[in-house]
Amino acid sequence: MTNGQCTIQTRVYLKVKSGVVLDGRISVSPDPQSAEVEAAEIGSLLIGKRIQEIKDWKALLGSFDAFRNSEEALKLGQWLNEMFGTP
């Protein structure tokens, strides 16, 4: 990690139409198998959510079992908050 940014292993894919998440995959694990589990868990919970209704990405990501106590997930959540203009 450099300058508080996420590492190269962090992956974010969001397919959004009219503000609604149609598909989403987020992972922070460098291990391919763990990353796939993270992506599947988060993807299933993000589908159907409205981007503008997500008030805190850090809290949202921290609520997933795969991301609990993950410094990388907190940094990613902060970055998403900045990208989407949330606190």
Q: Residue 54 has what pLDDT?
A: 92
pLDDT at 29: 86
pTM: 0.79
CA 23 to chain centre: 12
- The whole-number pLDDT of residue 55 equals 93
* Regions of the chain with pLDDT less than 50: 1-3
What percent of the chain shows pLDDT beyond 70?
90
Q: Strand, coil or helix: what is 81?
A: helix
Q: Which residues contact 12 (CB under 8 A, 6 or more apart)?
A: 25, 26, 76, 80
**Alpha-carbon gap, residue 15 to 5, rounded angstroms:** 23
